Structures are given as C-alpha cells and as structure tokens.
Amino acid sequence: MWPQQFDYQRADSIAGALAAIGADGKFLAGGHSLLPAMKLRLSTPDQLVDISRIDALRGIANGNGSLSIGGAATHADIAASAAVGAACPALAQACGMVGDQAVRNFGTLGGNIAHADPASDPPSVLVAVGASVTIASADGERTVGAEDFFVDLFETALDDGELITSINVPDLSDHQMAYVKLPHPASRYAIVGVCVALMMDGDTCGHAHVGVGGATVKAVKCAGAEAALAGSSLDDAALSAAVAALSDDIGEWLTGDVAYPEAYRSAMAGVFLKRAISAAKG
C-alpha cells in the first residue's frame, strides 16, 4: 500500500482549488475512495488538491423546494441532517449505510459520486429522485442531472479539472420513501440497492420514483417500474408488473461477478423493489 509520489496542496476556496488543479491532479476530499485506489496504484495522480476544509463546500441547506448539499459534506453529516431527513429521508438512509462510522465521518457525497462505484448506495437515491449535480471549473459552472451524471462503470460526466460544488435534491417531504439494500458480505457495498419514493393518494400510488444500483454498472432510474406502480394500489399484480418492468429497466446495465452473478442480482433487484416499497409504506 505505497502510493506513487505526488504533490499535495490545500485549497482555501473553490476558486483557489480550481486555480490550483493541474492536468494530472485530483481533488482530495475525504479520501475514502481515492486514497485506497492510490495505495493500490490503480490511480496515480501527480497532484492532490485538498478541498476538505473549504466551508462553502460543506453546507447543507434547504430552500426553494430543493436541498443543496455541498460537494464536501460528509456522509455522516448528511445521514444526521434534519433537513435531509425531512426532504429526502432515503438519502439520509443511504448515506448512513456507506462504510462504517469512521468512513462516513470522512467520506463525502461529492467524492462518492465522482468515484461512481456502481455498488455505492447514494447514487440510486439521487437518480430515483431526480437530483442534479452542480459542477464548477475554471470555465464556469454547469448543472447536470443525476441520470446524465452517471455515465458508466466508474465513469461520470465530470471532465478533468472539474469540481462538484453541490448536489441538489428535490424536496420530497410529501413522498413516502426508502432505500434498502442487500449488502455484499465482504465489502458491505450493495449487491443490489433500491430506492423507492411514492406519492400516495390514499391507497393509490399517484406516482413513484425508482432507482437501482449495485446490480448495475451505474445507478439506473427505472421508468418502467415507475409506470407500473403509478396509479396502482400497490397490490400484488402491480408489484409483479413492476418487478417485471424493473428487469427490463436494468437489463442493459446489469452486471455481476463470479460470486454474485447477473441472474442473482437481477432477481434480487425485484425482491428488494418489493421490500423498498414495503419499507416506504412503513
């Protein structure tokens, strides 16, 4: 576990960070995805620009019907945030399932999604609820929808030198929602993770948001399953239809390995969709 030689700088501001970053540099926040990769020499940046102490990147605020979560807010802060708990409790749940307490105390949501591990928990929530990501660079700022942000396995819409300044999450406090996962017994990453947010009108589901990760190379928003649930009373027939639709939704992106093959993950995505709905309904 001996990383290749690199330079280290600490930035005090977003502008300072953007000015400092070099062509082969990386931003360092919590370091819980980047440093292990560097120690294994899977990642060999020649420069780290530390953004973990930039206050402007750490805040969590709710305004205008949307949560704004700083790119360097930690999983622990998000999991414990009353604002997140009210507006998007599934995100708080998902952030509370990342790693262990020590990891959550350091690891940041921005770092998490920049790494884009397919088995990470928060991305399923972000794509399900239609979150967006605000990205800054020397050229200015842009905002990308979560679905477009996650491109492929460990691949995002981020370009070199770009910094995630905030993650913007719609206020869904009028929804019932949950994130549930089947953890890998070794890593506790998701073999499959499912986020469901339901807009209930009495016993009828007005609409549903569904996102899946773990089983897929990237977090996937499941429009077919959402459609199957919308307007239903979430009865067995609707659930079966949603499970079938989910299978199509994720089919293109399905992944697996020797220990947990695609067939298993696909089946479990359906199982955990039902469990997520059940958890969301309370």
Quick one: 101 or 143, whose CB is closer to other proteins?
101
Closer of 230 and 267 to other proteins (Cβ) = 267
Contact (Cβ atoms closer than 8 angstroms) between residue 177 and residue 280 = yes
State the minimum distance, in angstroms, from the CB of residue 200 to other proteins.
25
> How far is it, in rounded angstroms, from Cα 120 to Cα 162?
21
Told to check if 261 binds other proteins by CB under 8 A, we report yes
Q: Are strands 47-50 and 7-10 parallel, antiparallel or unpaired?
A: parallel
**Closer CB to other proteins, 2 or 8, in the complex:** 2
Tokens found for residue 29: 């926040």
Q: Verify binding: residue 1, other proteins, rule CB under 8 A.
A: yes
By CB under 8 A, tell whether 271 contacts other proteins.
Answer: yes
C-alpha of 131 from chain center: 10
Assigned token pair, 79: 């999991």
For the bound state, the minimum distance from the C-beta of residue 209 to other proteins, rounded and expressed in Å, comes to: 24
Interface map 241-260 toward other proteins (x if CB under 8 A): ----------------xxxx
Q: Among 13, 19, 24, 41, which residue sits at the site for other proteins (rule: CB under 8 A)? A: 41
Span from 12-20, 157-165, 180-188, 241-249 in contact with other proteins (CB under 8 A)? 180-188
Residue 240 as a binder of other proteins (CB under 8 A): the answer is no
Residue 179 makes contact with other proteins by CB under 8 A:
no
28 is an interface residue for other proteins by CB under 8 A: no
Ranges of H-type helices in the chain: 14-20, 34-39, 75-80, 82-87, 89-96, 101-106, 109-115, 122-129, 146-149, 223-229, 236-251, 262-281
Q: Which C-beta is closer to other proteins: that of 182 or that of 254?
A: 182
B/e letters for 188-201, b = 16+ CB within 10 Å, e = fewer, are: bbbbbbbbbbbbbe
* Shorter beta-carbon distance to other proteins: residue 104 or 221: 104
231 binds other proteins, rule: CB under 8 A: no
Closest CA to 141 of 71, 73, 49: 71
Closest to other proteins by CB, 87 or 279: 279
Burial of 115 (0-12, 13-18, 19+ CB in 10 A): middle
Site of interaction with other proteins (CB under 8 A): 1-5, 40-41, 182, 184-187, 189, 191, 257-261, 263-264, 267-268, 271
